[in-house]
């Protein structure tokens, strides 16, 4: 099988010739630039600054030489925008991380190092407004800066507050995406993941508005969560706005990529903590599910794409709803969270959901275990998830900074070992 055929079989719950592998096709299946730089060196690949594919998490772009070496089967089709609201069609600005890793960030990114060693990022590259993101001294990714002001609970204005948060795709962006999809479809045999995004409703990374110059309304995430109970009409109004924009963008996106992509990345909203959901299933069903279903229904009625959803944590109480609202692919499959047992997930949902991730724990095993412990866990997870298809190997979320390179090599070798048994 080609990589495209292999992933196509897996996402249609058919047994492929080997388990597909993803490294870097999405912003939740990638690798921090610092670790990527060291991995390339350990594998004998040419030394060069790492291009940043996602600035907020400081993810490095996985190049073709590394994809070939590890046997990756998927590639992401990304738009030109970034988390801080810039438009980056090229990465030419040098930026050195705290550990000395040389990187190149997008041309529209504006970063400033402060006296305490921290680095701040400005929304839309505009230094005349307060920064919206901060990387602490010695850190390896950005956090949101709280810029929320006061809001009047007796006079809530969601349409005004979020009027600059969502936008319909312009022609230049559509052409940029169209060109990428055409290139990878015609010149490679990778499966293509269309990273459309824009519909992570209630996403903790996006609610504060890192891409907005002047975010207004309910933006602190604790206030946002309380608003689910106190002001549900506010939440619904925001989600309705976002849904209308997403449906328009889906129409434009389909014109741009057609049937060249096999998977469309829809949402990265986390609904789980380590021990349980952020809120009850009843709240999810009232405030989230109807909007997600409208978008998923459009995808399934108008394309052959499979919908890709990312949600960390213990989300077992939401999985029946995920299936009912049209989720096809679930990532990152956080087995370390309460109730997320791999055997149960495969037995109960293996014919309904494709599991994309879950291959090794990135909280403990991969960063702190031994290479043999990594190997054993990878083989164990592959035994659980691979039978009958419906599985693409990836770590549980992105590979973080300071992960030992020898553990990464052990992970890739374990996947190759398992696939060699077939």
pLDDT of 393-409, one tens digit each?
A: 999 999 999 999 999 99
- Beta-carbon count within 10 A of 163 CB: 14
Share of the chain above pLDDT 70, in %: 100
Confidence of residue 74 (pLDDT cuts 50, 70, 90): very high
Residue range 60-78: mean pLDDT, rounded: 98
Q: What is the pLDDT of residue 422?
A: 60
Residue range 181-200: mean pLDDT, rounded: 96
Confidence of residue 335 (pLDDT cuts 50, 70, 90): very high
Q: What is the pLDDT of residue 90?
A: 87
**Closest by alpha carbon to 52, among 398, 320, 331, 421?**
398
For residue 336, CA distances in Å to 30, 268, 325 come to 19, 19, 25
If you search the block for the tokens 């009850």, which residue do you land on?
Answer: 280
Distance CA 88, CA 372 (A): 41
The pair of structure tokens assigned to 197 is 């995004």
Phi-psi region of 282 (alpha: psi -120 to 50; beta: other; left: phi over 0): alpha
| Residue pair 315/272 in contact by the 8 Å Cβ criterion | yes
Residue range 322-345: mean pLDDT, rounded: 98
Confidence of residue 421 (pLDDT cuts 50, 70, 90): confident
Distance CA 317, CA 246 (A): 26
Distance CA 180, CA 257 (A): 9
Residue range 98-113: mean pLDDT, rounded: 97
- Beta-carbon count within 10 A of 194 CB: 26
Longest dimension (CA), the chain: 65
C-alpha angle with apex 303: 77 to 324, nearest 5 degrees? Answer: 100
Residue range 328-352: mean pLDDT, rounded: 98
- Dump pLDDT digits (tens) for 367-386: 999 999 999 999 999 999 99
Q: What is the pLDDT of residue 89?
A: 83
- Dump pLDDT digits (tens) for 207-248: 999 999 999 999 999 999 999 999 999 999 999 999 999 999
Mean pLDDT of the chain: 97
Q: What is the pLDDT of residue 45?
A: 98
| Residue pair 70/42 in contact by the 8 Å Cβ criterion | no
Q: What is the pLDDT of residue 356?
A: 98
């Amino acid at each position: 099988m080609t990589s495209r055929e292999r992933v196509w079989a897996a996402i249609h719950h058919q047994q492929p010739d080997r388990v597909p592998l993803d490294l870097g096709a999405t912003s939740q299946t990638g690798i921090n630039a610092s670790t990527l730089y060291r991995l390339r060196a350990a594998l004998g690949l040419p030394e060069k600054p790492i291009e940043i594919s996602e600035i907020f998490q400081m993810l490095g772009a996985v190049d073709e030489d590394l994809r070939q070496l590890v046997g990756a089967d998927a590639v992401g089709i990304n738009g030109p925008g970034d988390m801080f609201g810039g438009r980056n069609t090229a990465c030419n600005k040098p930026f050195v991380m705290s550990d000395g890793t040389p990187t190149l960030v997008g041309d529209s990114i504006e970063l400033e190092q402060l006296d305490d060693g921290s680095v701040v990022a400005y929304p839309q590259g505009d230094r005349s407004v307060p920064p919206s993101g901060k990387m602490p001294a010695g850190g390896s990714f950005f956090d949101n800066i709280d810029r929320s002001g006061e809001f009047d609970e007796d006079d809530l204005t969601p349409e005004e507050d979020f009027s600059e948060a969502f936008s319909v795709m312009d022609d230049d962006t559509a052409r940029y995406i169209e060109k990428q999809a055409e290139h990878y479809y015609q010149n490679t045999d990778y499966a293509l993941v269309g990273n459309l995004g824009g519909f992570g409703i209630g996403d903790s990374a996006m609610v504060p508005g890192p891409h907005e110059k002047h975010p207004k309304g309910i933006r602190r995430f604790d206030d946002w969560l309380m608003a689910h109970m106190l002001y549900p009409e506010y939440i619904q109004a925001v989600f309705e706005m976002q849904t209308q924009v997403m449906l328009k963008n889906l129409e434009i996106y389909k014109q741009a990529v057609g049937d060249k992509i096999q998977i469309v990345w829809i949402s990265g909203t986390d609904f789980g903590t380590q021990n349980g959901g952020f809120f009850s299933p009843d709240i999810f069903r009232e405030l989230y599910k109807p909007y997600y279903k409208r978008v998923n229904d459009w995808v399934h009625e108008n394309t052959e794409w499979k919908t890709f959803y990312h949600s960390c944590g213990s989300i077992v109480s939401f999985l029946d709803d995920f299936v009912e609202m049209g989720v096809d692919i679930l990532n990152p499959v956080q087995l370390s969270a309460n109730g997320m047992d791999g055997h149960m997930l495969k037995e109960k949902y293996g014919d309904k959901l494709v599991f994309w991730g879950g291959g090794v724990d990135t909280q403990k095993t991969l960063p702190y275990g031994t290479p043999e412990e990594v190997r054993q866990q990878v083989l164990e997870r592959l035994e659980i998830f691979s039978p009958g298809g419906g599985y693409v190997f990836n770590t549980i979320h992105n590979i973080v900074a300071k992960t030992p390179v020898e553990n990464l090599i052990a992970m890739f070798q374990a996947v190759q070992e398992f696939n060699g048994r077939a």
